[in-house]
Amino acid sequence: MVQARFYPDLPMEAKIIRQEVFVEEQGFQEEFEDDESIYIHLVLFLDDKPISTARIKKLDPERYQLQRMAVLKPFRGLKIGTYTLKFCQTKIKTLGGREIVLEAQLDKSGFYAKNGFKPVDGEIVYDQDYPHIWMRKVIVRPKNK
């Protein structure tokens, strides 16, 4: 059974997943911040085993940024990333969010596009020499008055 758990500070399970994916697999050096408590952290569990993570940052009352989404290698290709996105999207909606932005690794942008995200301006930006692109998704449309 898949279960989503949200945390107000970086849980050990999220730290382990991010270390494995971003540092060991992808070679990022600056993965963790001094204060991870400014984010909402998600860990997705499958039968009590942590398999993916993401964090959410509030930008303003209606805009949130999704960051550090990672799925452990044995669970890729099983729609775990899609589940992770959906749990985050639902959480953001409950917080009053209407829009999600993210800085997608360029080679992962197709995954986000399949899940409704669109490039903001198409400009390539670099994070530790790795190409990224800003993307956004409107999750709640403004009501017409």
Domain edges within the chain: 2-138
Give, rounded to a whole angstrom, the gap between the first and last alpha carbons of the chain.
42
Residue pLDDT tens, the chain, 145 long = 889 999 999 999 999 999 999 999 998 888 888 888 899 999 999 999 999 999 999 999 999 999 999 999 999 999 999 999 999 999 999 999 999 999 999 999 999 999 999 999 988 999 888 899 999 999 987 766 5
pLDDT of residue 144: 63
For residues 71 and 143, give the distance between their C-alpha atoms in angstroms, rounded to a whole number: 35
For residues 12 and 34, give the distance between their C-alpha atoms in angstroms, rounded to a whole number: 15
Task: Phi first, then psi: give them for residue 86, nearest 5 degrees.
Answer: -65, -40
Looking at the domain 2-138, which fold is it?
A: Aminopeptidase (3.40.630)
- pTM, whole model, 2 decimals? 0.91
